[in-house]
Structure 1
Amino acid sequence: MKTFAPLLAPIAASLMLISTTLSAQTCLSDGLETTPDEDFTTITSSTVLHEPTDLVWERCAEGQTWDGSTCDGEAVKYTWQQALKLAQAASDEDLLGWRLPNVKELATIVERDCVRPAVNSTMFPETPPDDFWTSTPSVDDPDRAWVVAFFNASHSIKEKDRFIYVRLVRTYTND
């Protein structure tokens, strides 16, 4: 009986390299960064201040935890109502005013020179390259709300009962 293991090993290695390459962030080498590191200041170990907007952002998506150098664990998806309740509970817990960002606020941390994810990966490591909820409802359809796609920096509206990622924000208050 012949074994194909020696033939399959190089193919498997190539496929793993391709899948790793496809999931890695890609950025323009000569573009002008829209969210450079110098626009951010560390507030706590897990939050950063975006100085141009005076907004404090969680470094990790909900479900992930900051381990001192990166976001660990799996991000969790929520419906729009669940995301709003999650933000209210976070605000009630520490009284700092955490909330779901509106579409304009969330768009301020999109890195337009990068895709998969379209975010400053130093400030927001391990960000899922997918949609994130905003608090902005659709004006045309009460069953939908705006999302920002950290896959390619686009914006769209989605049904509020879909499960989508969340990153909370608050206004800076000289903590």
Structure 2
Amino acid sequence: MLKQFITYSAIVTGCLLNSTLYAQQCEDGKPSLTSDSRYQFINHGQEVKDLKTGLIWQRCLMGESWDGQQCTGDALGFPSEEAKQYLGTQAKNWRVPTIAELATLNGGCWQPAINPNIFPSNPERFYSDSTLISSTPYTPTKSEAAHLYDRKNAFWYWAFDVNYGQKSFEVKDLPTHLVRK
């Protein structure tokens, strides 16, 4: 019984410590550029309006839904055919953001650089949800094209879980938050 209690206590402590490791941390007490007050929850919390840019974002990743407390379901990766079909049938007023729009979500804080209070993680997800794809195609320079063999269908993405956020490009399908004006 004591061994079971100690094991349970260690698991709970580990979970609590793990969750604090992923809390957004800003440098030298500076406030996040994307503080909670910058956003307004609308449509029963399913969407957030960025009061600075005027953009309206889905709180959950494309394919997921907001249940009033958290994101649930399975995220879709763009530009997969399934995601394109979803955009055409279930999200007609929404679109995949440009890289410039994704960059506006960068709070200038440390891992994650995106505000986790506004864009919460799905507890059912077993992969990083902080690397978000954009609709902006990546076009390599001539010198890059000579060294890159499989970048014909690459898109820019923003990695919110890397340091203070990082822009790069990728060919594979990645999740994203949909946006509209």
The aligned counterpart of 2:70 is: 71
Consecutive aligned runs of 4 or more in structure 1 exceeding 6 Å deviation = none
CA separation of 1:37/1:26 partners in 2, compared to 1, >3 Å: closer, same or farther? Answer: closer
The aligned counterpart of 1:154 is: 166
1:93-138, CA deviations, whole angstroms, 9 ceiling, x for partnerless residues? xxxx3100001101111222131x3221222122654311110110
The answer to which of 80-89 and 5-14 deviates more is 5-14
The aligned counterpart of 1:61 is: 61
* TM-score, length-scaled by structure 1: 0.74
Instruction: Determine if contact 1:35/1:120 at 8 Å carries over to the other structure.
Output: yes
SS of the counterpart of 1:155? strand
For 1:8-157, what aligned pairs fall within 5 Å after superposition? 10=6, 13-14=9-10, 17-18=13-14, 20-23=16-19, 24-28=22-26, 30-45=29-44, 46-68=46-68, 70-82=69-81, 83-92=83-92, 97-115=93-111, 117-126=112-121, 128-140=128-140, 141-152=151-162, 153-157=165-169
SS of the counterpart of 1:135? strand
Q: Pairwise CA RMSD of aligned residues?
A: 2.6
How far is 1:166 from its partner? 2.1
| Whole-angstrom distance in 2 between the partners of 1:25 and 1:74 | 23
SS of the counterpart of 1:114? coil
| Whole-angstrom distance in 2 between the partners of 1:146 and 1:47 | 24
How far is 1:79 from its partner? 4.1
Percentage of matched positions with identical amino acids = 23
| Whole-angstrom distance in 1 between the partners of 2:176 and 2:13 | 30
The answer to which of 74-83 and 106-115 deviates more is 74-83
Instruction: Determine if contact 2:61/2:76 at 8 Å carries over to the other structure.
Output: no
1:20-51, CA deviations, whole angstroms, 9 ceiling, x for partnerless residues? 53453241260221101221122311111102
**Hey, which of these two has a bigger chunk of strand by percent?**
1
Instruction: Determine if contact 2:48/2:59 at 8 Å carries over to the other structure.
Output: yes
How far is 1:19 from its partner? 5.6
The aligned counterpart of 2:148 is: none
1:126-161, CA deviations, whole angstroms, 9 ceiling, x for partnerless residues? 2654311110110114221111112132121111xx
CA separation of 1:16/1:40 partners in 2, compared to 1, >3 Å: closer, same or farther? Answer: same
Corresponding letter in the other structure for 1:149: A
Q: How many residues align?
A: 159
* TM-score, length-scaled by structure 2: 0.72
Corresponding letter in the other structure for 1:154: Q
Segments of 5+ residues of structure 1 without an aligned counterpart are none
Segments of 5+ residues of structure 2 without an aligned counterpart are 123-127, 141-150
